[in-house]
Amino acid sequence: MGLFEKFTTIANGRNMLDQLGFDPFNVEIEEILSPTMARIAGREVLLAGTNNYLGLTFDPRCIEAACSATRAEGTGTTGSRMANGTFAGHRALERELAEFFGCAKAIVFSTGFVANLGVISTLTGPGDTLLIDGDCHASIYDGCRMSGADIIRFRHNNAADLEKRLRRLGDRAKNTLIIVEGIYSMLGDRAPLAEIVALKKKYGFWLMVDEAHSLGVLGRKGMGLVEEADCLEDVDFIVGTFSKSLGAIGGFCVSNHPELDLVRYASRSYLFTASPSPATVASVRQALQLLASGKDLRERLWCNARHLYDGLAKLGFSLGPEPTPVIAVYVRSKEETLFSWKELLDQGIYVNLILPPAAPDGKSLLRCSVSAAHTHEQINHIIKAFSAMSADITL
């Protein structure tokens, strides 16, 4: 077998799915009908696992912006930002992102994953120290590994554990980069950002916040946890993605440090990746305008999130620690989680299946993503589908 021996565990897992007769990790969406509906295996299905928080994927203004850009500039840039891939739209989007966050500088990347890879691995290197929340996203872990810096994890959302590790670092703490997330994608909980900022003032470290799941969701203007916690001036780097609230694909980093511009000249994932297409840039610019112009979508999103969270809690399900648009439902075992996921799909509800090692603490989850585009009736339909499942699947 040689090269393929390392895939034995994956092969065993695939064999188990083959025996079950379904594969939840290879679901084909045959037709998208709306931000909340699709056709899967010939049936109409309610989408409750898309991260389409503001429901902007079908907004006619975003669609028209994308179509107009494609007609004017073509389907792609065919080059990296440093070669031939920087169009006027890329620069305009960077200016608008910086203005939205009230920051001096912004860089746009091709994906949110690539943004984390590029920023983390460029800012830090051998001899530096990274202190990251144990539940950080895979892209953060990969960026840390690429950097060659020393990587230390602290217990999830535990500021006391973070401080204990900072004390151990001594003088090294001042040149340490701490990374947390606004809303964590597995359980939907927020980082204790105010507590972490208090530690920053005490120990003098650098701080990065990934607002991937909190952009458009938290804060008066939708800037994320940095705005909700009133910590914008204390955070050194904010990274995020366009693939959730903004309904497209791409990533970014904003900062008040003018040196952020130097990252362009050293980040391999910026230098050697084709830039976002004109259509993508145009739709994101339009979505950002919609986000900045009002809070109606965000209010509708939170109404739906609380409705679903409260409804599932009343049914006795064990949920993530707080209501947010990411709602995690704990299930006792991997096998029960698989069959529960299939039972929901059979009832016309698509949610995300999260199994170890992706799920925290080796547990298994059914994860719902709520959207502003969901109707009150659709949220009730999701609750009804969960209620039809056997109560003994809950922890």
Q: Which residues are catalytic?
A: 185, 213, 244
Spatial separation of the C-alpha atoms in residues 34 and 51, rounded to whole Å: 14
Instruction: Compute the C-alpha angle 128/132/133, nearest 5°.
Output: 170
DSSP 317-353: --B-SS-SSEEEEEESSHHHHHHHHHHHHHTTEE-EE
| Identity of the residue numbered 106 | A
In this structure, the number of other CB atoms found within 10 A of the CB of residue 334 comes to 17
Residue where the block lists tokens 């001594």: 170
In 3D, which of 279, 212, 273 has the Cα closest to residue 241? 212
Instruction: Compute the C-alpha angle 120/199/361, nearest 5°.
Output: 65
In 3D, which of 51, 87, 379 has the Cα closest to residue 215? 51
Spatial separation of the C-alpha atoms in residues 282 and 176, rounded to whole Å: 37
Strands 349-350 and 176-181: unpaired
Tell me which H or E stretch contains 131.
strand 129-133
Contact yes or no for 235/225 (Cβ under 8 A): no
In 3D, which of 286, 256, 274 has the Cα closest to residue 111? 274
Residue 187 dihedral angles phi and psi, to the nearest 5°:
-105, -10
List C-alpha distances in Å: 62 to 58, 66, 111, 299.
7, 6, 18, 20
Q: Angle formed by the axes of helices 112-123 and 138-147, to 10°?
A: 30
